[in-house]
Amino acid sequence: MDNRKMLGIDLGGSGFRVGVFDSVSGKNIGEFIEIDHGASRHPDVVLPRICSVLSTLQWNGPIGLGFPGAVEGHDILSAPNIGQEWLDAAVVQVLEQCCGGPVTLVNDADAVAIAEVQFGAGHGENGTLLTLTIGTGLGTTVTENGTLIPNLEYGLMPHPTREGKLEDHVSGRARKEFDLSLIEWAERFQEGIDHLCEQLTPDRIVLYGGIMEHWSELKPLIRAQCPLLPAIHSNSAGALGAAFCSVESSEP
């Protein structure tokens, strides 16, 4: 296997993405695969699907998996948006059997931040970078001079003024659940930005997630006291960051 290639998987509440990347440039090599969970996101259904993609790609070697919950080593600590069955699933063992190499688990939002710091909008930046991963949930990752604080999970904090968690109102899911127009969603997102800025005083904020396809309309609707930037790897940062973690952890 070409040892400059690395593979990452970005698992989310609605589907998963798989990409092979160049470990030096971060560029995607070949097809970037996106698969919806469809009717089931149970690990017994999703893990074989991931394995089948790995076998189509004829991938043998280390892989990184961005998981939508808190993780530590090989343990999944929470799975708020994909189903509690994932807490007991033998995720690492099953995937290691398919790919024949070590599997590195990383929080999905942390993977996005790692990709953007290494190869994207946060590259070479000092200070406090807040990366927001806006998906089924809200991922919140802080890096200080490039060093990441893992599993921050500010999206699970109580919303400062509304009932429920911050991510209940500031996520892609919130837009569907409350049937919000883009303008209404932006107002709620602004509340989230204001709250997070108060808590974390970032020097720059990077935004990532499906909603960013509307960035040109959203841009004039949201503001912060620091620059707000779209992720450069607009749909692949999760997979890229996970891939990068697999290489980092397999280095001696």
Site for ligand BGC, rule CB under 6 A:
68-70, 78, 80-81, 107-109, 133, 135, 137-139, 153, 155-156, 167
Shorter beta-carbon distance to ligand BGC: residue 12 or 120: 12
Shorter beta-carbon distance to ligand BGC: residue 118 or 136: 136
Q: Which helix (H) or strand (E) holds 191?
A: helix 182-200
State the nearest-atom distance from the C-beta of 67 to ligand BGC, in Å.
8
Shorter beta-carbon distance to ligand BGC: residue 122 or 135: 135
State the nearest-atom distance from the C-beta of 138 to ligand BGC, in Å.
6
Rounded Cα distance between 246 and 114, Å, is 12
Burial class (CB in 10 A: 0-12, 13-18, 19+), 5: middle
State the nearest-atom distance from the C-beta of 169 to ligand BGC, in Å.
13
Strand order in the sheet with 15-22: 28-36, 15-22, 5-11, 61-67, 100-107
Residue carrying the six token digits 């809200």: 138
Distances (CA, A) of 25 to 10, 80, 114, 185, 234: 19, 33, 14, 35, 16
State the nearest-atom distance from the C-beta of 134 to ligand BGC, in Å.
8
Rounded Cα distance between 247 and 58, Å, is 18
State the nearest-atom distance from the C-beta of 65 to ligand BGC, in Å.
13
Residue nearest to ligand BGC (CB): 137
Shorter beta-carbon distance to ligand BGC: residue 19 or 68: 68
State the nearest-atom distance from the C-beta of 229 to ligand BGC, in Å.
19
Shorter beta-carbon distance to ligand BGC: residue 61 or 68: 68
Rounded Cα distance between 172 and 177, Å, is 9
Shorter beta-carbon distance to ligand BGC: residue 81 or 246: 81
